[in-house]
C-alpha cells in the first residue's frame, strides 16, 4: 500500500497534471493500437479498458518519467491499475527529496 501523500510543496519538480497524464496515456494507447477509439479517464483500467499489457506499461512509465522529469519506483509498473494510481505515484515522486 502506498504511503499517504503529504501536502508539502514539491522540492524538485512541478506537481503532476492529470490532463497532461491522460493525454500521454492516450498518446501511448493510440500509438500501440492504431485506429483505437479508446480514451483514458482517471479510473480507466490500464489493462482491461485501455489494452495496455506489461510491455506497454514499460513504455508508458518511461514516457511518464521523461515527460514529468521524475523517477518512479519500479513497483509502480506492476501496482498501478489506473491513471489515477499513476498520478498518485507521480505526486509522491514530486514530493520526495531529490537524490544527493
4-15 pLDDT, tens digit per residue, is 444 333 334 445
Q: Would you say the C-alpha torsion 30, 33, 34, 40 has a positive or negative sign?
A: negative
Q: CB-side exposure of 89: number of CA atoms within 13 Å?
A: 23
- For 36-87, write each residue's pLDDT tens digit: 899 999 999 999 999 999 999 999 999 999 999 889 988 998 899 999 999 9
pLDDT (0 to 100) of residue 26: 96
Class of domain 18-95: mainly alpha
Give the model's confidence band at 98: pLDDT under 50 very low, under 70 low, under 90 confident, else very high.
Answer: low
CA distances from 89 to 3, 9, 31, 97 (A): 10, 15, 24, 14
pTM given for the model: 0.77
pLDDT (0 to 100) of residue 99: 58
Distance, CA of 68 to CA of 17 (rounded, Å): 9
What is the length of the chain?
100
Give the model's confidence band at 1: pLDDT under 50 very low, under 70 low, under 90 confident, else very high.
Answer: very low
> At residue 33, what are phi and psi to the nearest 5 degrees?
-135, 70
pLDDT (0 to 100) of residue 12: 41
Domain extents in the chain: 18-95
Amino acid at each position: 500500500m502506498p504511503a499517504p501523500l503529504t501536502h508539502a510543496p514539491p522540492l524538485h519538480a512541478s506537481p503532476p497534471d492529470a490532463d497532461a497524464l491522460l493525454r500521454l496515456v492516450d498518446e501511448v494507447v493510440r500509438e500501440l493500437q492504431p485506429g483505437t477509439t479508446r480514451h483514458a479517464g482517471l479510473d480507466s483500467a490500464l489493462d482491461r479498458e485501455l489494452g495496455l499489457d506489461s510491455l506497454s506499461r514499460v513504455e508508458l512509465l518511461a514516457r511518464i518519467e521523461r515527460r514529468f522529469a521524475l523517477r518512479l519506483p519500479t513497483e509502480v509498473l506492476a501496482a498501478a491499475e489506473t491513471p489515477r494510481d499513476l498520478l498518485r505515484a507521480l505526486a509522491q515522486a514530486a514530493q520526495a527529496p531529490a537524490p544527493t
